[in-house]
Chain A
Amino acid sequence: MKGHKREIISTEPASLKSPVVMSLALHLLIVGIALAGWSWTSPVSEPEPRQISARLVSPEPRPSPVVDDQDQRDRDQERRQQQERERQEEEAERRRQQEQARQEAERQAQAEAQARQRQQEEQQRQQAQAREREQQQAREQEAARQRAEAEAKERERQRAEQERRQQEEAQRKAEEEKRRQEERRKQEEAERKRQEEAARQEAERRRQEAERRLREQQLEALADESDRQREAEARRQQEAAAARAREAQMLSESERYQSLIRERLSQAWYPPSSATEDMTARIQITLLPTGELVNARLVSSSGNTAFDNSALGAVRSLSRYPVPSDRNTFERYFRQFTIEFNPQRLR
């Protein structure tokens, strides 16, 4: 960009001020020649690449854009320096022209040498190129062969590689499969384990639940049990109290009927005149709940027949014994009992 703009500026003054342009062109020419001379001289020992030398063959060296690299900060100064330089350059020109003539001569000699050298070199080069071509051909054949070989190898390699890849692929696939299977197995295993774990956890949970429930049940049962026991105890006590009351009632009832029976038997008993106070006869009697006598048996004799008979007669004389209507009391006391006849107050 910058280069293009500068190029425009430089063209405008060239049309307006031809001496300046002339000068400039001259200068540029000089500089270019100087630079070309410098560039010829310095890298002599160093062989130039072929392409470069081939380009140098062209007659018109192209201006170097190096000028543009100069500083343009103070154009006035530059112009003064330019004038100086122009004067110096005129001097230099003259010296240069001399130099140039000399250098032209030299260059001609050199060119001639160079041409010869170049011819030799060309020959050498062509020979070298021929050799090079031969070698190149051989190399190429060799290369083709090697390439074919390499290609064959490559094909082989590729085939092998293919095979290997296939194998690898197969193996990979197999491994993959295996891995998948393994994975699946692992997954299944994991799943199984997970399920097992879940089952175990579930079982554990259930067990704990069951345990908890059992414990609760046990606790409840204990509570129930203690409740039941308390209730049972209360019931037992109630029953015991009731039983005692019943017993007492039965006893009192029993006693009431005992005394009734005693009274009746006392009235019915006629102790014989032969009775003495040490005589005792015992008679076991069996009654029906109606009070009727079922059986009377002398279980202990007084030793006095009349006494025993009087007792038996008394026992049998009651057509109906006064017995409690309460069946339990009857069964307990009056189903079967013993009557003892033992006169304590003989008349």
Chain B
Amino acid sequence: MNAHNAYRQGFSFAAVLTALLVSMLVASTARAELLIRITEGADSAIPIAVVPFAESGAMPAGDKVSSIVQADLTMSGEFRPLEPTRMLSLPSQRSEVYFRDWRMLGQRYVLVGQLTRSGERIEARYELFDVNREERILGETAGASANNVRTLAHHISDRVYEAITGDPGVFSTKLAYVTLSRTGGETLYRLQVSDLDGKRARVRLESKEPILSPAWSPDGKQLAYVSFETGKPVVFTHELASGERKKVADFPGLNSAPAWSPDGKSLLLTLSKDGNAEIYRLEIASGNLTRLTNHWAIDTEGAWDHAGRGIFFTSDRSGGPQIYYMERLGAEPRRITFGSRYNARARPDAKGEYVYYVHQRNRAFHIARINLKNGEETVITRTESDESPSVSPNGRMLIYATQQNGTSVLTVVSANGGAAYSLPAADGDVREPAWGPIVR
């Protein structure tokens, strides 16, 4: 009996313990709320409906504002605007937006707006809606002169882009590039500046001699470039508004690869005045020159890092061209590219995350980027004979020159290589693109 009681007690104790454990287990599993981690986003671009803006008053001929916005967003590679013909309705204000319709169409955002002509100005009133959250995330007005609707459109694109992605838009930025046209037996080099979409291109310099390496000043008001107009490579600065040019580096030998410092007060230059191609810093105002590299091998194509403290440059001190990083001026350079025997023309992004460069692989030249944190190298272009990468100020896009049907063209890709958008080719070759800064 006692034994039995003990057994029973023992048993009941065990049962209680078991029950306790089970309940604890159940409770812990019950407490542990399911957590689903999403670590990858959609491969495709964001669906957005840019509804043709309602218009009141005479609008200038040419592209509609909404069309330009749509093209801008498409070019970014991050958006996939809905064809207006598929839209169920064309609302121009909030009261006309039926989110269910847009959700049915799979749209994430809807941009509606109205354009009003008042005199020589066009006023735009536009609203951006998050279809799923059914919220207006942008509601603004903007205006421009009637012959600058593209400016207005790019501005709206920038605002939309920023509202959705959190990054500033770059659709109002300018591109500088060099075209090469051969008419008859003559070759003509033109330095041009255009909108990002290639529209409103204006020739800033025309020369029968090569023009190379245009570089934007941080304020977007000047360009620096190498011109062979004097028969030898000379670095000029060029005030775009006034067209005023200055010869800033005309040393014996090679004067090339200008790059503005973030503060706009100095230029990095590659000079061979001391017998070997080395990198110097030129203070524009004073003309003071400081040599930054000192090596028997070629050191060229210097570029400031995003903080303006160190420089990336190309050197063949290891036998072939590779990217080196001098974290501080005067510090020992550190090689950062090892993926192949040709890596050149480093272009760091504005966030200090990636460096883009020309990368040779299997006899082809691609644009690649390296993650500065983990050293991971990614080839981001599928084309061959790629050269002259230039990163958008927000780091999201990249423009580079490549060969297409025997001619050189410019291609814009998203920085991750997702989308490619070839600028409409001007006649002849287009080379040496330089992405202008965001001008506030």
Contact B167 A272 (CB under 8 A): yes
Q: Which of B44-98 contact A (CB under 8 A)?
A: 45-46, 78
A305 at interface, CB cutoff 8 A: yes
Please tell me if the beta carbons of A270 and B46 are within 8 angstroms of each other in the complex: yes
Say whether A271 contacts B166, CB under 8 Å: no
Option from B22, B39, B46, B166 in Cβ contact (under 8 Å) with A344:
B39
Q: How large is the interface on A (under 10, 10 to 19, 20 to 34, 35 or more residues)?
A: 35 or more
CB-defined contacts of A345 to chain B, threshold 8 Å: 39-40
**CA–CA, A317 and B42, complex, Å:** 13
Decide: B36 and A262 in contact? CB cutoff 8 A: yes
**A284 CA / B132 CA spacing, docked (Å):** 16
Q: In the assembled complex, how far is the CB of residue A241 from the closest CB belonging to chain B, in whole angstroms?
A: 13
Complex CA gap A307/B167 in Å reads 11
User: Given A268-B42, A273-B396, A347-B414: A336 and B165 within 8 A (CB)?
Assistant: no
Contact A343 B132 (CB under 8 A): no
Point out the residues of chain B lying under 8 angstroms from A229, CB to CB.
11
Interface of A is mostly: helix
Task: Given A269-B42, A317-B108, answer yes or no on A342-B37 (Cβ-Cβ < 8 Å).
Answer: yes
Per a CB cutoff under 8 Å, which of A222, A337, A346 touches B35?
A: A337
Contact between A337 and B39 (Cβ–Cβ < 8 Å)?
no
Query: Which of chain A's residues 327-341 have a Cβ closer than 8 Å to chain B?
Result: 332-334, 336-341
Flag if A273 contacts B166 (CB, 8 Å): yes
Interface string of A161-172 (1 = CB under 8 A from B): 000000000000
A273 CA / B35 CA spacing, docked (Å):
25
B181 contacts A by Cβ under 8 Å: no
Is the pair B30, A344 in contact by a Cβ cutoff of 8 Å? no
CA distance A343 to B40 in the complex (A): 5
Q: Are B42 and A340 in contact, with the CB atoms below 8 A?
A: no
Are A270 and B34 closer than 8 Å at their CB atoms? no
- Which residue of B is nearest A318, CB measured? B132
Cβ-defined partner of A266 (8 Å) among B42, B132, B166, B167: B42
User: Which listed residue, B30, B78, B396, touches A332 by the CB 8 Å rule?
Assistant: B30
A347-B416, A347-B417 given; A312·B165 CB < 8 A: no
User: Does A306 reach chain B (CB closer than 8 Å)?
Assistant: yes
Residues A274 and B167 in contact in the complex (CB < 8 Å), given A313-B108, A340-B35: yes
Please tell me which one of the listed residues A254, A311, A347 contacts residue B418 in the complex, with CB atoms under 8 A apart: A347
Given the interface contacts A332-B30, A347-B416, does A309 sit within 8 Å of B137 by beta carbon? Answer: yes
Instruction: List residues of chain A with CB within 8 A of the CB of B165.
Output: 272-274, 306
B299 to chain A, nearest CB (A): 32
Which residues on B are within 8 Å of A, measured CB to CB? Answer: 4, 8, 11, 22, 29-30, 33-42, 45-46, 78, 103, 108, 130-133, 137, 163-167, 394, 396, 414, 416-418
